[in-house]
Amino acid sequence: MSSKKRSRKDRSRFFIAHLTKSKWLSERILSVLERFLNKDHLRRRLRQVIRQQGPAVREVLNVWEADLDSRELSNILLDRALASAPPPEDREPPLCSVIIPVFNNGTLTYSCLKSLLLAKVTTPFEVIAVDNASFDHAPVVLDHFRSKVTVIRNETNEGFVTACNQGAAAATGRYLLFLNNDTVVPDAWLDRLVATAEEHENVGAVGCKLVFPDGTIQEAGGIVWNDGSACNYGKWKDPDDPHFTFLREVDYCSAACLLVRRDLFEELGGFDTRYAPAYYEDTDLCFGLRSLGYRVLYQPCCEIEHCEGATAGIDENVGFKRFQKINRAKFTAKWSQTLATQSPPGSRHREVAADRRRGPRILVLDWQVPTYDRDSGSLRIFSILKALTRLGYRVSFMLQKKARYDHYARELGGIGVRLVPKKAVRRELAGGRHDLVIASRMNVAERFLKHIRRAAPRLPLIYDTVDVHFVREMRAAELSRDKQALAHAREVRRREIAIARACSLTLAITEADSQHLLREDPTLEVAVLPNVHQPLAVTATPEGRRSLMFIGGFKHPPNRDAMLYFVAEILPLITAELGPVELQIVGSDPPAEVAALSSETIVVTGYVPDTTPYFARSRVFVCPLRYGAGMKGKIGEAQLHGVPVVTTTIGAEGIELVHGETALIQDDESAFAQDVVRLFQDDLLWTRLSAAGKSHIETHFGTAALEERLARIMASFFGS
């Protein structure tokens, strides 16, 4: 290293050390440091913030960005977290108790605890470390974390099994999370595991995807063969391989990171001490949970780095590792009857053995992975996929050729949906890998219908309209009075009805859409499956709200038309009565003509990851749709947030809204504007519509209602 580079690094370290003591260490700097640890592109922002702090810290401007050591920065944040620990009596009761057995490896223990305390999670938890008579610097490390970690010290090395049972005995959380001290955890890791346990039925334990430091898989759920031997599914493979990216029921998951219901752990008597000091105790526990009627789930969205063998080694003939062979014989003797039902060893059985689910197999086709926070159609299909997995179906989703494996794809895997590359779909259909296909949207169904029929002629096929395309096209043509558009709409109607006739069942999103289809062909099999909305714990009041709001994805033409129409024809009538009023136009992909509406009082946001702040300051949600079809998810979302809605007849279609009771419905520009003004001036009317609209959506379009409808539809194919 050159002297010049060394000098820069020295200055960087001097500056970081200076920050830990300096009065200039503001909350603003710390917030940027936190983001800096995960996002390199924020380094420039860090420089800008520091520049604004004054001359005392401008030394950093002479330091190359690459010389800022993220480990040093994380240590600053760790010291801050440890110093700010509240006394035990003021801490929030833990939902989860994280239990970490420790034997030596002080450096790895430090990295584990640091990641644990700096990871951003919302689940309240406590940390219990059990020190098995470590003789390196691990006890010093544990002392360093004493404000945040409860330490149990043993005079001798009691082994993994006894240490875990000791930690569990001291735990107070509803869940126990067993974690090795040679792991590193990411943000939201614990939230993912707890949510999985609470959102699914009969779950006894949840494990994660374990990866080696080089990024390859160590374990993506465990398989136990009928001879008692175990297999780490996916070992050394790519963690983004679709085989390993979906939630599923497994034989067992490693206690290197394993969430267990505390009451069930106690019912089983904890880890069986016959396996002391270590090995096969986690496999035995998972078999015990399944013997009680509970499932063990693998959650790929929780990805933990694990230095396998850092404590026990990897040689099965020496040290603790030798107990792997010894305890396999004990395990085989204990579970001989259960093992007789397991698959025999061998790679040809591996994929089947890796997934214990046995429900019917459903393949879903759509034009993209659902971007559920960007448009209501995506939210609907995402909710359907989630409901199908909760009902016990094994769901696969076609991944388009050029689709990125992004966080939307990961979310699908997290709810139990298996991704199938487009190139593999025809092969799987021909091989009998699926029992039913759902094709979502007209263009997708039309494109794949002939391929499906060629590969699997007798396979049941459902056409999910999302909204009836020809109705939307016909209304747009009638509005524009364009003869060419009208001819196109008629052609769309012919094609869409042909698709419906070729399918076993057509799903309409509203009763109105169902009637449109049946008027064209009364022989069609049609069922109604509406949007679904998750309840929100929001209590809305009218005070402090002065904005209008609209939300919608602008790739959908009716949304673009609605905003151009509203700003030109209705908004001037409102401002004539109320004066200047802010209009928030929220939604992804606004075209140039919508972006051009931006002004001092009109805010065009584009995509926003969290719409809550926009709803929180909105007095009225306006939905002036002039054409379209289906159910308008934007209205349901607004009503769940407690914001009263003024819309048109087409906007209200399918949601069963009643004018004056659950919303205000007007098709005339002047009447529409006047109802908006009323909601600004009448708090009693505002409060009544806010409560009634929220109750209406929660009652008729909640998760339970969707699952009930979906269960009836699926029963028509597979029985109850």
Tokens at 301, concatenated = 């969205």
**In which region does residue 138 sit, left (phi positive, over 0), alpha (psi from -120 to 50) or beta (all else)?**
alpha
- Contact criterion met (CB below 8 Å) for 511 and 654: yes
Q: Do 179 and 279 sit in the same domain of this protein?
A: yes
Residues contacting residue 145 through CB under 8 Å, at least 6 positions apart? 82, 113, 117, 127, 129
**3-state SS, residue 712:** helix
Strands 149-153 and 125-131: parallel
**In which region does residue 228 sit, left (phi positive, over 0), alpha (psi from -120 to 50) or beta (all else)?**
left
Return d(Cα 510, Cα 630) in angstroms, integer.
6
**3-state SS, residue 292:** coil
Residues contacting residue 326 through CB under 8 Å, at least 6 positions apart? 279
Q: Kindly state the helix (H) or strand (E) to which residue 96 belongs, with its residue range.
A: strand 96-102
Return d(Cα 12, Cα 682) in angstroms, integer.
60
Domain boundary among 303, 335, 353: 353
**3-state SS, residue 365:** strand
- Identify which of 200, 594, 240, 532 has the alpha carbon closest to the alpha carbon of residue 372: 532
- Contact criterion met (CB below 8 Å) for 78 and 119: no
The residue length of the chain stands at 720
Q: Do 619 and 695 sit in the same domain of this protein?
A: yes
- Contact criterion met (CB below 8 Å) for 204 and 265: no
Return d(Cα 693, Cα 676) in angstroms, integer.
16
**In which region does residue 441 sit, left (phi positive, over 0), alpha (psi from -120 to 50) or beta (all else)?**
left
Does residue 312 lie within any of the structural domains?
Answer: yes
Residue 317 confidence (pLDDT): 53
Q: Do 63 and 193 sit in the same domain of this protein?
A: no
Q: What are the φ/ψ torsions at residue 229 (nearest 5 degrees)?
A: -75, 155
Does residue 517 lie within any of the structural domains?
Answer: yes
Counting the structural domains of the chain, the total is: 4
**3-state SS, residue 7:** helix
Q: What is the CATH number of the domain that holds 172?
A: 3.90.550.10
pLDDT beneath 50: ranges in the chain:
1-9, 11-14, 16-25, 37-43, 54-68
CB-count exposure of residue 534 (10 Å: 0-12, 13-18, 19+): exposed
DSSP string, 604-650: EEE--S--HHHHHTEEEEEE--SS--S--HHHHHHHHTT--EEE-HH
Return d(Cα 418, Cα 160) in angstroms, integer.
34
- Contact criterion met (CB below 8 Å) for 277 and 160: yes
Residues contacting residue 322 through CB under 8 Å, at least 6 positions apart? 316
Q: What are the φ/ψ torsions at residue 155 (nearest 5 degrees)?
A: -75, -25
Return d(Cα 179, Cα 302) in angstroms, integer.
13
- Identify which of 171, 210, 36 has the alpha carbon closest to the alpha carbon of residue 93: 171
Domain boundary among 353, 379, 397: 353
Does residue 687 lie within any of the structural domains?
Answer: yes
Q: Do 520 and 556 sit in the same domain of this protein?
A: no
Q: Kindly state the helix (H) or strand (E) to which residue 703 belongs, with its residue range.
A: helix 703-718
Q: Do 311 and 218 sit in the same domain of this protein?
A: yes
CB-count exposure of residue 21 (10 Å: 0-12, 13-18, 19+): exposed
Q: Using the 8-state DSSP alphabet, how is residue 228 labeled?
A: S
CA distances from 341 to 74, 335, 337, 338, 356 (A): 49, 11, 7, 6, 12
Tokens at 609, concatenated = 């990851």
Residues contacting residue 160 through CB under 8 Å, at least 6 positions apart? 101, 255, 277, 278, 281, 320
Q: Do 268 and 371 sit in the same domain of this protein?
A: no
Return d(Cα 706, Cα 205) in angstroms, integer.
27
Tokens at 255, concatenated = 């206690």
Beta bridge pairs of residue 98: 127, 177
Residues contacting residue 23 through CB under 8 Å, at least 6 positions apart? none
Q: What are the φ/ψ torsions at residue 217 (nearest 5 degrees)?
A: -75, 135
Domain boundary among 353, 374, 404: 353
Q: What is the CATH number of the domain that holds 507?
A: 3.40.50.2000
**What is the separation, in whole angstroms, between the first and last Cα of the chain?**
71
Residue 551 confidence (pLDDT): 95
The reported pTM is 0.79
- Contact criterion met (CB below 8 Å) for 336 and 371: no
Return d(Cα 218, Cα 718) in angstroms, integer.
37
Residue 46 confidence (pLDDT): 52
Q: Using the 8-state DSSP alphabet, how is residue 230 labeled?
A: E
Tokens at 262, concatenated = 């505390």
Beta bridge pairs of residue 506: 463, 526
Residue 375 confidence (pLDDT): 77
- Contact criterion met (CB below 8 Å) for 597 and 585: yes
- Contact criterion met (CB below 8 Å) for 53 and 43: no
- Contact criterion met (CB below 8 Å) for 540 and 690: yes
Residue 324 confidence (pLDDT): 85
Does residue 536 lie within any of the structural domains?
Answer: no
Does residue 720 lie within any of the structural domains?
Answer: no
**Residue range(s) defining the domain that contains residue 78:** 3-83
pLDDT per residue as tens digits for the range 103-112: 999 989 999 9
Does residue 541 lie within any of the structural domains?
Answer: no
Q: Do 222 and 332 sit in the same domain of this protein?
A: yes
Q: Kindly state the helix (H) or strand (E) to which residue 326 belongs, with its residue range.
A: helix 323-334
Residues contacting residue 141 through CB under 8 Å, at least 6 positions apart? 106, 109, 110, 113
Q: Do 177 and 209 sit in the same domain of this protein?
A: yes
Q: Do 464 and 522 sit in the same domain of this protein?
A: yes
Q: At what angle do helices 469-480 and 511-520 cross, to 10 degrees?
A: 90
- Identify which of 233, 285, 229 has the alpha carbon closest to the alpha carbon of residue 262: 285
Does residue 540 lie within any of the structural domains?
Answer: no
Q: Count of H helices and E strands in the chain? A: 29, 25
Please state the separation of Cα 387 from the chain's center in Å: 14
Does residue 410 lie within any of the structural domains?
Answer: yes
Q: Do 107 and 203 sit in the same domain of this protein?
A: yes
Q: Do 59 and 29 sit in the same domain of this protein?
A: yes
Return d(Cα 348, Cα 334) in angstroms, integer.
27
Residue 84 confidence (pLDDT): 72
Q: Kindly state the helix (H) or strand (E) to which residue 585 belongs, with its residue range.
A: strand 582-586
Q: Do 376 and 517 sit in the same domain of this protein?
A: yes
